Structure 1
């Protein structure tokens, strides 16, 4: 008998937690659930896929209750310490009312999970490289998928695999996400920054990492779709906040780096901070492109540059 892990997270995490670059350390209770023959037929043995059912995350900063969620170690341009209290951060089922109602949501499913995989660089334009990929559920054919923005979309309306909540599928696969930040700088008044996204979708997003010339190189794609995105600076973020920016049918498709012109990730030797850099295209490669027709001159460099522009 084969099994899948099904995780049940407490609706409120009691201990301090810090989330950075997607790394999460939380107490977890798990149970084993049997896989059906149909489930097993979808398994190909490549990489690691994971699905979270009835997932809910909620945490905030409330020292009176022993909950502390604070980011420190940051300074402003004058050297003053900057402390950021995360008054609230949540991932929950659509309809969470700014994180006040925390119910579980499904993230991914067995035939289209979140994945961690090692790719053959020869297949993606990086000869001789091993590439680590961390990916959200893949886009699908429009006859099988759902509209990425419509929270009540029906199957066959778009290319997103994540299903919206419905009468028959209350949990859905599109979470409400949000945070409320309180920023404190010495000698200055508190400032706030809040963001809430309803029925969010990240399908088609991925991060690929590989080594190049003693540096870490990356290709990053972020797809973010939500029918309602709110940003405000109210002291308390809720429906009562009247000073806010509200964007409907928000769509972000961000691409940073690629196999020909990577995003390089490193550490600044002077400040110790992270550095992110995308180099200019190599002019020698551009010299192998006909300036009139845009065609390659037949050289390896020309073929690479032509493939990039295509």
Structure 2
């Protein structure tokens, strides 16, 4: 028996094993049924450091053009040292992919801050959903921010599946003067984020809800041009920077059952985003009874996702230089509930 096992094992070692995706013809595709697709991104790298994107036709009060140029735009694997060492990164994997799918409102759920899954979308509605790799419950996942347990340990993205990203904006606000805004992000992931869209018959418009989760080990916002006078060394650059360490945000926009996010366009071409008061009136404008308002309010304040913004440590400037700096410590907004919000674009 032992000799047989050895022979079988030797044969397995000798045989090459390959697996790859195979193309499907039209006849094979015709037999496939589904409600969406799941995907992961492998070997992603964007390096636009040698290119510039120019944005024009933005004018000041005098009607003068205020051009904006975009430089040093990149995203790559972690460890890039602010874009100096760019390597490809894999985002998502087959066991925890991105998803673009259709679903019924009663089947879609959202993870509350206390780890409970709740239904947030209305029944009997077909919904288009884009989701990022999900956060996990019931099993130990990955730290959402390496070394910072306060952000949670239920993310599915591993350290090698996180982004370093950066971008620089040059604003020519006056003749001979250019203002700089340089942003670098380390170990960024968006696990648990989603966008859901559907049509509301009573309102006769597109509505939805969104959850935007951002986790980052570090975010640096700098206002000088690297390599120029007073911005050449690491210390000089830090003097012109605001740094956020161990920062995360869980931004909840909409609660589909009673406060969907409304999308609209005005007659003069402006975009409008609105979160209506969840208990004031029905979608058709009629007034709710006191019992209905109480039931909706109880459900909303119990189950609607909350917004959290946490900065583990916020600092400005460099405390080791002559000019000094300041450490503001931990800053947070937690458990925020939005009762009403209306945002409208405006012409400058």
TM-score, structure 1 normalization = 0.70
Give 1:160's match in structure 2, choosing from 155, 158, 182: 155
CA distance in 2, matches of 1:45, 1:151: 40
User: Residue in 2 aligned with 1:33?
Assistant: 20
CA distance in 2, matches of 1:82, 1:274: 23
Give 2:45's match in structure 1, choosing from 26, 31, 56: 56
> How far 1:151 moved relative to its partner?
6.4
2:43 is equivalent to residue 47 of structure 1? no
Give 1:83's match in structure 2, choosing from 56, 67, 90: 67
> How far 1:303 moved relative to its partner?
3.6
Give 1:126's match in structure 2, choosing from 117, 122, 126: 122
User: Residue in 1 aligned with 2:197?
Assistant: 209
Between Structure 1 and Structure 2, the one with more helix by share is: 2
List alignment gaps of at least 5 residues for structure 1: 1-31, 36-43, 165-171, 290-296
Paired residues of 2:121 and 2:255 also in contact (CA < 8 A): no
CA distance in 1, matches of 2:20, 2:72: 32
Pairs aligned (count): 246
Distance 1:193 1:269, change over 3 A: farther
CA distance in 1, matches of 2:84, 2:98: 27
Paired residues of 1:141 and 1:159 also in contact (CA < 8 A): yes
Superposition pairs of residues 69-80 of structure 1, within 5 angstroms: 69-76=53-60, 79-80=63-64
User: Residue in 2 aligned with 1:273?
Assistant: 270
List alignment gaps of at least 5 residues for structure 2: 1-18, 23-32, 108-119, 303-348
Paired residues of 2:189 and 2:214 also in contact (CA < 8 A): yes
> How far 1:116 moved relative to its partner?
0.7
TM-score, structure 2 normalization = 0.63
> How far 1:284 moved relative to its partner?
4.7
CA distance in 2, matches of 1:74, 1:288: 49
Cα-to-partner distance string for 1:120-152 (whole Å, 9 max, x where unaligned): 124353233221111110001363311111169
Superposition pairs of residues 183-202 of structure 1, within 5 angstroms: 183-185=171-173, 187=175, 189-202=177-190
> How far 1:46 moved relative to its partner?
4.4
Paired residues of 1:108 and 1:162 also in contact (CA < 8 A): yes
Larger Rg: 2
